[in-house]
Structure 1
Amino acid sequence: MARSTTALARLNALGDADLDARLVEICSSPAWAKLLRSARPWADDDAVHSANADAMAGLGPADLADAMAGHARIGQPKAGDATSQREQSGVHGADDALLDELQQANADYEARFGHVFLICATGRTAETMLEALRGRIGNDPRTEQEIVRGELRKINDIRIDRLLNED
């Protein structure tokens, strides 16, 4: 069996509570975990990603808030959280002036929308995240909510891939 096939079989075999515990490490929305779990058994990796897309599409505003609650502010990865550190590695080495700009832009965004700025930070630099933040702050709340939903889906897909490739 391939590594992801072995991991997939192991995930398909987990009890609901054990699987939910693993899934909320990917996305902190209990509703998302339940929706993803209800799509079992997954035939392959694509089926898990498809279930993620469907689950994200099914989340209401409160569920999206739950999902966002598990994410650190851009430019401020959670100390001791390897996932947060890895995903925001693009801010490492950024100068203080840029980090200050990012902090102020985050505060402006949070004041406007009432939640953290969420972007799939993997592979992005601090500069490109700041540019995206500035570009999105002018969005209306509904448009921004759908962008956030898409960014969460991307983040979940990356985290799902890591889970499926565990030893």
Structure 2
Amino acid sequence: MTADLGGFNNTPPAELRPDLVACLDVPRWVETVLTGRPYADLAALKARANLTLEPGEIRRAMAAHPRIGEKTGGVPAMEQSGVDSAGAEKFRIANVEYEARFGHVYLVCAIGRSGEELLDDLHSRMANDPDTELAVAGRELVKIALLRLEKLA
């Protein structure tokens, strides 16, 4: 992982690619970010990385994300820090309903949001049609990727 934008710009693609895949497992996104280097500043990097994902790309990237409220490696995922153990059971039930309706996990950029806010968001998104909801999930994936990318760069 690189420590600064200069390092990010100069890291060989083969070394940087796995870190970018960890941000968002979408080959087109990874290649877009790689081929845009060098970046003058973080704003330019984030602007280049702010893509609209295609439905197949969204489904691919979703496979790498835990459900809200689930633990990864025995601890809650950092990006899900707003969900406590009491909220985890509510999310387990809500996730089952959501997945039955849409056929994929509920994805949201959870940083800085409480478990209650996230659960309210999940419930409100249940009113979406499947295509709309997939697009919403795609936008949330990109938000998450941009946060991860900022930490990487």
Same fold (TM over 0.5): yes
Aligned partner of 1:118: which letter? L
Give the direction of change, closer, same or farther, for the CA distance of 1:28–1:107 in structure 2 (3 Å limit).
same
Structural mapping, 1:12-31, within 5 Å: 12-31=9-28
Mapped partners of 1:127, 1:60: distance in 2: 30
Task: Identify which range, 99-108 or 128-137, moves more after superposition.
Answer: 99-108
Mapped partners of 1:26, 1:77: distance in 2: 18
Mapped partners of 1:156, 1:7: distance in 2: 17
Look up the SS of the partner of 1:90 in the other structure. coil
Task: Indicate which of 108, 120, 126 corresponds to 2:109.
Answer: 120
CA apart distance, 1:118: 0.3
Paired position in structure 2 for 1:86: 78
Look up the SS of the partner of 1:91 in the other structure. coil
Mapped partners of 2:100, 2:58: distance in 1: 18
Mapped partners of 1:79, 1:104: distance in 2: 21
Mapped partners of 1:31, 1:80: distance in 2: 32
CA apart distance, 1:143: 1.4
Give the direction of change, closer, same or farther, for the CA distance of 1:35–1:80 in structure 2 (3 Å limit).
farther
CA apart distance, 1:99: 2.6
Paired position in structure 2 for 1:67: 61
**What TM-score, normalized by structure 1, do the two folds share?**
0.82
Aligned partner of 2:35: which letter? S
Determine if the alignment matches structure 1 residue 160 to structure 2 residue 149: yes
Aligned partner of 2:44: which letter? A
Q: Is the 8 A contact 2:83 2:115 kept in 1?
A: yes
Aligned partner of 2:12: which letter? G
Task: Give me the identity figure in percent.
Answer: 38
Structural mapping, 1:1-150, within 5 Å: 7-53=4-50, 56-57=51-52, 59-79=53-73, 85-92=77-84, 94-95=85-86, 98-150=87-139
Task: Identify which range, 103-112 or 30-39, moves more after superposition.
Answer: 30-39
More helix by share: 1
CA apart distance, 1:162: 1.3
Mapped partners of 1:61, 1:147: distance in 2: 11
Please give the root-mean-square deviation of Cα atoms over the aligned residues, in Å.
1.9
Q: Is the 8 A contact 1:89 1:122 kept in 2?
A: yes
Aligned partner of 1:100: which letter? E
Mapped partners of 2:54, 2:139: distance in 1: 13
Mapped partners of 1:77, 1:135: distance in 2: 24
CA apart distance, 1:7: 1.3
Q: Is the 8 A contact 2:125 2:133 kept in 1?
A: yes
